[in-house]
C-alpha cells in the first residue's frame, strides 16, 4: 500500500502537467564560453544579455555580466567549479543578483551571495533585495540630528558622528583604523543599532580575529559579518560592500538604525581595477577605470537618515581607506573624502609616540559637527578642539628653546593635561555621561593641578564612581560640579 501511494503521487503530478501542457515554440538563448581566467569569463552567443544580469554555466558556475560588446560579453565569476572551461554552455539567469535580508541574518557570517560561512544552515529570510539599488531621493531624507556614540573621547566630543552620516576613517596600515571601527561596533550594544561589518580582501587570520573579538564581547548578536576574503574571487570582493549595504538598507527602510563598516575600500578599489583591466576597460589615473568615483559614490550615497514618512530609519557608514606613508592626497582617499561627511585621520607618528587612538585632530573633521551631539556635551566641548590645536602650535614653538611668560606656561600645562585626557585604550568605551564628566572637569579647571603622569589614574577613579552618583545628561551643571569637586578632593 505504501509503495502504491508513493507511485501515485508522481503519476498524478505527471498527469496534471500533461493536462496543462500546450505545444508551441520556445526560444532560449545559449552562449558558449570562449575563454576563462583570473576570475572572468568571455562568453559569445547571448545577444539579449543586460548589464549585471546573472549567468548560469552548465557546470554549475555562476557569473554576472560586467562588460557588453557586439561580439561577446565579459562576466565576472562569482562561483567557479573546476569544470568551467572554453566550450562550456552558458545561459541567462533572467534576473539581477539579489540577497536574502532580514533579522535571520543577525549573528551570521555570510559571503556576498548570502551563503553561510559559519558552518550553520542557510539564513532564514522571507525577503530578497537586489545588491544594486538607487540611493534614496532627497525628498525621502531627513536631517542628521541624533548622535551615534562610538565610546571614543576624541570622536564623541570633537568629531561627532550622527546617525545617517558617512564618516571616513583614513590612515596608514597599522595605525588602528579597524580597531577604531570595531570599538564603534562594540559600543552599539544595547543601543538598538544593528551593525554590518564588511571585510574586503582581508587575510583569513584577520577575519578570524575580527569574529573572535565580536563573539567575545557579545556583539555578534546584533551584527552581521559579510566576508570577501583575499583568497575569494575578485568578483566577490567587488560585491562585498554592496551586499553589506543591502543588508543594512533593508533594516533602515524597516525603521531601524544601522551601522555599516567597509573594511576597507582601498582593497575594494583594487579588486574593481583588476576586473576592469582584465575586461579591457580603458585605464585612467593610477590604472583605475574612469568610473571609480561613481563606484564609491553610488555605494555611500545609500547611507542616510530617512524621513518619518519613508520609515524613519538610518544607515551610518564608516568606510575605511588606506594611505601610503601618510599621503592623504592620493587618488582613492581624495575621492572618498569628497564623497563623505568628514574624515578621521590616524597618524603613524602619533601612533608610534604612544598617543592612542592616533587621531590627528588638525586633519580630521566632521561636517555634521555639533548638530549630532547632545546639547550638554556640545556646550561643554565647545572650544576644546581649538584649545588643543593652539596647544599643539605652542608646544611646537617651545621646541626652539623660547622662554615663555607664566600665562603661556600655564596654557602649556593645561594642554598636556588635555592630551592625557584624550588618550584611550582599545575596548574601553566611555559613556555619554562619562564624557560630560571629564569635559566639565577640564572646562572648570578641576584637573589643572594634576600632573600629566597621574591624569589617567585620576580620571579612572573619577569615572568609577559615576554609576552611583545618580547624575545623567539632564542633571544641572551645579550638581555635576559639586560631585566632581567632592570626588577629586577625596582622590587627592
Residue indicated by cell numbers 575569494: 232
Mean pLDDT for 375-386 is 92
Taking the C-alpha atoms of residue 386 and residue 171, their distance in angstroms, rounded to an integer, is 22
Which residue range forms the structural domain that includes residue 438?
380-491
Annotated active-site residue in 13, 367, 461, 485: 367
Same domain, 341 and 419: no
Q: Which band of pLDDT confidence, cut at 50, 70 and 90, is reported for residue 7? A: very low
Task: State which of 339, 373, 407 marks the end of a domain.
Answer: 373
CATH code of 242's domain: 3.40.50.300
> Quick check: 26 pLDDT over 80?
no
Task: State which of 95, 119, 151 marks the end of a domain.
Answer: 95
By DSSP bridging, strand 365-366 and strand 342-346 are antiparallel
CB < 8 Å & 24+ apart, contacts of 97-100: 97/52, 97/54, 97/64, 97/130, 97/131, 97/132, 97/239, 98/128, 98/129, 98/130, 98/131, 99/128, 99/129, 99/130, 99/131, 99/243, 99/246, 99/247, 100/125, 100/127, 100/128
Q: In sequence order, which ranges of 164-287 are alpha helices (DSSP H)?
A: 177-186, 204-216, 234-253, 265-278
The yes-or-no answer on residue 367 being catalytic is: yes
Assigned C-alpha cell, 112: 556576498
Comparing C-alpha atoms, which of 439, 381, 356, 452 is closest to residue 413?
452
Mean pLDDT for 100-113 is 95
CATH code of 46's domain: 2.40.30.20
Same domain, 205 and 332: yes
> Quick check: 300 pLDDT over 90?
yes
Q: Which band of pLDDT confidence, cut at 50, 70 and 90, is reported for residue 10? A: confident
Residue 18 resides in a domain: no
Same domain, 251 and 112: yes
Instruction: Please tell me the predicted confidence (pLDDT) of residue 492.
Output: 65
Residue indicated by cell numbers 507511485: 7
Same domain, 147 and 249: yes
Taking the C-alpha atoms of residue 177 and residue 170, their distance in angstroms, rounded to an integer, is 7
Residue 309 resides in a domain: yes
Question: For residue 45, is it left (φ>0), alpha (ψ between -120 and 50) or beta?
Answer: left
- Angstrom CA distances, 76 to 56, 169, 295, stand at 12, 29, 16
Same domain, 293 and 196: yes
**Between residues 248 and 370, which one has the greater pLDDT?**
248
Same domain, 338 and 471: no
> Quick check: 261 pLDDT over 60?
yes
Q: How far is CA 223 from the centre of its chain?
A: 12
Mean residue pLDDT of the chain comes to: 92
- CB atoms inside a 10 Å sphere around CB 482: 12
Residue 24 resides in a domain: no
> Quick check: 65 pLDDT over 50?
yes
The total number of structural domains in the chain stands at 3
Same domain, 455 and 349: no
- CB atoms inside a 10 Å sphere around CB 396: 9
Taking the C-alpha atoms of residue 129 and residue 112, their distance in angstroms, rounded to an integer, is 12
Question: For residue 90, is it left (φ>0), alpha (ψ between -120 and 50) or beta?
Answer: beta
> Quick check: 2 pLDDT over 60?
no
3-state class (DSSP) for residue 245? helix
Same domain, 208 and 264: yes
* Angle between helical axes of 265-278 and 234-253 (0-180°, round to 10): 130
- DSSP assignment of 327-389: -TTSHHHHHHHHHSSEEEEEPHHHHHTT-SS-B-GGG-EESSGGGGS-HHHHHHTTTHHHHHH
Task: State which of 373, 400, 423 marks the end of a domain.
Answer: 373
Residue 1 resides in a domain: no
> Quick check: 25 pLDDT over 80?
no
Instruction: Please tell me the predicted confidence (pLDDT) of residue 129.
Output: 95
Instruction: Please tell me the predicted confidence (pLDDT) of residue 8.
Output: 55
Residue 245 resides in a domain: yes
Same domain, 90 and 113: no
Tens digits of residue pLDDT in 307-364 = 999 999 999 999 999 999 999 999 999 999 999 999 999 999 999 999 999 999 999 9
Residue 22 resides in a domain: no
> Quick check: 5 pLDDT over 80?
no
Same domain, 364 and 456: no
Same domain, 420 and 462: yes
Q: From the CA atom positions of the chain, what is the Rg in Å?
A: 27
Same domain, 82 and 108: no
Amino acid at each position: 500500500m505504501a509503495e502504491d501511494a508513493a507511485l501515485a503521487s508522481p503519476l498524478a503530478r505527471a498527469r496534471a502537467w500533461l493536462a496543462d501542457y500546450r505545444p508551441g515554440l520556445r526560444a532560449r538563448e545559449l552562449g558558449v564560453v570562449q575563454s576563462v581566467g583570473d576570475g572572468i569569463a568571455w562568453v559569445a552567443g547571448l545577444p539579449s544579455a543586460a548589464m549585471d544580469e546573472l549567468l548560469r554555466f552548465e557546470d554549475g558556475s555562476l557569473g554576472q555580466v560586467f562588460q557588453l560588446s557586439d561580439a561577446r560579453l565579459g562576466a565576472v565569476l562569482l562561483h567557479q567549479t573546476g569544470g568551467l572551461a572554453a566550450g562550456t554552455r552558458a545561459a541567462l539567469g533572467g534576473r539581477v543578483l539579489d540577497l536574502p535580508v532580514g533579522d535571520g541574518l543577525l549573528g551570521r557570517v555570510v559571503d556576498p551571495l548570502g551563503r553561510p560561512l559559519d558552518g550553520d544552515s542557510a539564513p532564514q529570510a522571507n525577503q530578497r533585495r537586489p545588491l544594486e539599488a538607487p540611493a534614496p531621493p532627497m525628498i525621502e531624507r531627513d536631517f542628521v540630528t541624533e548622535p551615534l556614540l562610538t565610546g571614543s573621547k576624541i570622536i564623541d566630543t570633537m568629531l561627532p558622528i550622527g546617525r545617517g552620516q558617512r564618516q571616513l576613517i583614513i590612515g596608514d596600515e597599522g595605525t588602528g583604523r579597524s580597531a577604531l571601527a570595531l570599538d564603534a561596533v562594540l559600543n552599539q550594544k544595547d543601543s538598538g543599532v544593528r551593525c554590518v561589518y564588511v571585510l574586503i580582501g582581508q587575510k583569513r587570520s584577520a577575519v578570524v580575529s575580527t569574529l573572535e573579538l565580536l563573539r567575545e564581547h557579545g556583539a555578534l548578536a546584533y551584527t552581521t559579518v559579510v566576508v570577501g576574503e583575499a583568497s575569494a574571487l575578485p568578483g566577490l570582493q567587488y560585491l562585498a560592500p554592496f551586499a553589506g549595504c543591502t543588508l543594512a538598507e533593508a533594516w533602515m527602510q524597516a525603521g531601524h538604525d544601522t551601522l555599516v563598516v567597509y573594511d576597507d575600500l582601498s582593497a575594494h578599489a583594487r579588486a574593481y581595477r583588476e576586473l576592469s583591466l582584465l575586461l579591457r576597460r580603458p585605464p585612467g589615473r593610477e590604472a583605475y577605470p574612469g568610473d571609480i568615483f561613481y563606484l564609491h559614490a553610488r555605494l555611500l550615497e545609500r547611507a542616510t537618515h530617512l524621513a518619518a514618512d519613508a520609515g524613519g530609519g538610518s544607515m551610518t557608514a564608516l568606510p575605511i581607506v588606506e594611505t601610503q606613508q601618510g599621503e592623504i592626497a592620493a587618488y582613492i582617499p581624495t575621492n572618498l573624502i569628497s564623497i563623505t561627511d568628514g574624515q578621521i585621520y590616524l597618524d603613524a607618528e602619533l601612533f608610534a609616540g604612544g598617543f592612542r587612538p592616533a587621531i590627528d585632530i588638525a586633519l580630521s573633521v566632521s561636517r555634521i559637527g555639533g548638530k549630532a551631539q547632545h546639547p550638554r556635551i556640545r556646550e561643554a566641548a565647545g572650544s576644546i578642539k581649538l584649545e588643543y590645536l593652539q596647544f599643539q602650535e605652542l608646544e611646537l614653538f617651545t621646541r626652539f628653546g623660547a622662554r615663555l611668560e607664566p600665562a603661556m606656561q600655564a596654557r602649556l600645562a593645561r594642554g598636556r593635561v588635555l592630551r592625557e585626557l584624550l588618550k584611550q585604550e582599545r575596548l574601553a568605551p566611555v559613556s555619554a555621561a562619562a564624557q560630560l564628566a571629564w569635559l566639565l572637569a577640564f572646562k572648570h579647571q578641576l584637573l589643572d593641578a594634576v600632573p600629566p603622569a597621574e591624569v589617567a589614574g585620576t580620571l579612572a577613579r573619577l569615572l568609577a564612581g559615576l554609576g552611583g552618583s545618580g547624575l545623567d545628561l539632564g542633571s544641572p551643571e551645579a550638581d555635576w560640579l559639586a560631585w566632581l569637586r567632592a570626588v577629586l578632593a577625596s582622590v587627592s
